[in-house]
Structure 1
Amino acid sequence: MKKKWLSLTGGLLAVGMLGLLAAGCGSSPAADSKEIKIGGNFELTGGVANFGKQTVNGIQLAFKEVNAAGGVLGKQITLVQADNKSEPSEATNAITKLINQDKVVAVLGPVASSNVLATLQVGQDNKVPVLTATGTNTKITVDEGKTRPYAFRACFIDPFQGNVMANFAIKSMKAKTAVIYVDNSSDYSKGLAESFEAAFTQAGGTIVGKEAFLQKDQDFKATITKIKGMNPDVVFIPAYYEEVGKIVKQARELGVTVPLLGTDGWDDPKVVEVASAAALNNTYFSNHYSSQDSDPRVAKFAEAYKKEYGQEPSALAALGYDAALMLIDAIKRANSTEPAKIRDALEQTKNLQVVTGIISLNEKHDPVKSAVVIEYKDGKQAFKEKVNP
């Protein structure tokens, strides 16, 4: 009886081993699957959740359209989402889960530069490309002078955005002096402050003061009072909408009437809700796109987005849509769902027409694109001017 049991056990083990060998010699689960899983590492809760949700909406719209047209490589493309809660440590946890548990072939996101930076080593270690739609900090794609091989973006970078607003202040606002009010807890904000200062001073302007706050601060009045006393021609506030709305509101209450300048982090309806429409008059910010652009591609996208979500698309939604198109294009050109081949194809992205312009990646994996300056008029965004690279 014992001999027969051992013989049976040995046979079962042999069959099991043959099964494992067969699985190992065959194609990968990703290749066998009828779907292509893309990770979405986004701020679905927390301080910049509105941005995360808008970007995801843009991505989902692009995926819905491509799936309806037959998919990619004969497969449906699926966004597997993970909430990073608007925190760098959670962003690291999210990408780890997406790669190791969900087995995604590429990762889109996060939104905020600090959160993107927290994910890049995980993507590099696992050789899975990370494509941010919105992270503008220069360190995302370049580390100590070297291009990060698995990091890409769909948006312009902070130095360009800082230059745009510095030149706008000098040329359009006729400003000679400026104060910079920076979020010291944000890589995004600090990078923009540096580029604005360099461009503003190079163009002949003078920075008469630099002040700082932290994310989640509520009372800015003491610092704003100091800024008012410096009597600048403009105040540059490179920050996200939660704090921007409160800063603008309190600045106007304290009698600060000079132009307030910002960046793409201002682009959210909550700024108007918190600051009030009247307080936002005489404020301007740089952005990636304007729904008032006459380009027919913009109109088509805006119409499809409004039909899908019942609201106007923000620049974040447009960038999410564009990042999805970049990734879809790369997978098609790679003719593969292997992360390394997708990475190679992303690197070769050239003359890809998307909603926010034409994307060609340079050697640093950064697109060279135009920017727009938007003015708030009675709570509504109005196209001010377009700035080419």
Structure 2
Amino acid sequence: MRKVFFMLLVVLLTLSMAASGAPKGDIVIGCLQDITGVTSTLGKMVQEGANWALNEINAAGGVNGRKIRMITYDTKADVQEAINAFTRMCTRDRVSAIIGPPVANIGIAIAPISENYDVPVLGFAIDDRVTMKDDGTPYKNMFLFQPSARQQGAIMANFAVKEKGLKKFGIIYNQANAYSVSLLEPFKDAARQAGAQILVEVPYQPTDRDFKTMLNKIVSAGVDAIYAPNYTQELILITQQARAIGFEGQLICGLDACPPFPALCGPESNGIIYINNITETEPQIQGIIAEYKQKTGNDATNKFFLGYDVMKILAKVIGEVGDNPVAVRAAVENLKGYQGLTGNITIDPKTHQTKGLEMVMHEIENQLPKMLKRYAVPE
């Protein structure tokens, strides 16, 4: 009897030691993106980039011997869908972190709710309201992993005025879209500080498709440039109609003029100046674009690389502090000098936004992106 008891004790101790020394289960990361809605071209690219990085990480052995598993929820570009999915990830799926969307309306809706949970959200919605409260302090769990609207607007304005010599601007924007609106004041403020004038501003509704009357109003004001911080489908129509009415001046656009916009818009896109997180001619980025194209038949756009970098960052910090969401949040808040494909990434603990992250100004030439200059974010 004693012998049997001893053998059972040895077995139990062996199993206990093996369990304590073995890796735990999968590390679970949430991904909250629009997969089937009106901004699905953005959300699917973030998901694809994160998944590409995940596959690289797992193929190399995972994080401290553990695999990463990503759970994606489709927001369908609907705020309530996003809120429901966010809550499920925090309460049911027990994720260590969430890769958030590049869509301001969704981010703004999630931000106050995120205060109820201890799960960090690493997202790309550039509106300050996604990361910052009205009192100027950051939401504890919301983080932005590209330059904010304030920073991007300032970059575009400074480049347009100081590098291109443009002085008279008209603006056309979607007044119901948080992304479009968030880029207005930063651009206007920086342009005026650089010595330029804002001659006319024309808002439009999300349902508008005929912009010719609005564009004629802008052109007749005597502008030499039109600033159009709008989503891709609207931007295609605005660009084509601006050229159709004979406007030969400069069009300045945000991230939505990145590929695949030039191919979708056609030759009317030539000459547009726009901002991007990456330049497609860098060797590592070029290599991933080519491999992704070969495997899927699709093009990897800038949102792909945002998702890629954030998944790599999560693997790094979880490898250092473990997968407890509170520890992950603290590590993300204090991230410094991470060299990603979208630049050298540091998070400012005072804002939960990137600090000093460069962006790349491009011009569309023969419907292809031509890099003009890396531009530092004004501090």
TM-score (norm 2): 0.88
Q: Distance in 2 between matches of 1:311 and 1:297?
A: 18
Which residue is equivalent to 1:128?
A: 119
CA RMSD of aligned residues (A): 1.8
Could you tell me which residue of structure 1 aligns to residue 72 of structure 2?
81
In 1, the alpha carbon distance for the partners of 2:316 and 2:139 equals 21
Distance change (3 Å), C-alpha of 1:308 and 1:367: farther
The offset of 1:101, in angstroms, is 2.9
Distance 2:152 2:62 in 1: 35
Contact 2:28 2:94 in 1 (8 A): yes
Aligned match of 2:178: 187
Partner of 1:107: 98
The question of whether the paired residues in 2 share the 8 Å contact of 1:291 and 1:313 is answered with: no
Cα distance between partner residues in 2 of 1:292 and 1:301: 11
Partner residue in 2 for 1:67: 58
**Aligned residue number for residue 334 of structure 2:** 348
Residue 240 of structure 1: aligned partner: 231
Q: Which residue of 2 aligns with 1:168?
A: 159
1:365 aligned to which of 324, 347, 352? 352
Gaps of 5+ in 1: 1-30
Q: How does 1:1-389 map to 2 (within 5 A)?
A: 34-132=25-123, 134-144=124-134, 145-270=136-261, 272-273=263-264, 275-276=265-266, 278-293=267-282, 296-334=283-321, 336-363=322-349, 364-368=351-355, 369-389=357-377
Q: CA deviation at 1:33?
A: 5.6
User: Could you tell me whether the CA contact under 8 Å between 1:245 and 1:272 is conserved in 2?
Assistant: no
Partners in 2 of 1:104 and 1:217 — Cα distance? Answer: 40
Q: Deviations over 1:261-282 (max 9, x none)?
A: 0111222425532x32x21122
**Is the Cα contact below 8 Å between 1:241 and 1:271 reproduced in 2?**
no
Percent identical: 28
Q: Distance in 2 between matches of 1:260 and 1:77?
A: 43
CA shift at 1:105, angstroms?
A: 2.0
Contact residue 96 and residue 119 of structure 2 kept, 8 A: yes
Where does residue 11 of structure 1 map in the other structure? Answer: none
SS at match of 1:125: coil
SS at structure 2 position matched to 1:41: strand
2:273 is aligned with what amino acid? Y
> 2:262–2:368: 8 Å Cα contact kept in structure 1?
no
Q: Deviations over 1:136-164 (max 9, x none)?
A: 11222221200211111211111121111
Deviation sequence 1:206-247 (CA, Å, 0-9, x none): 100111123343221221121121120100011111110111
SS of structure 2 residue aligned to 1:207: strand
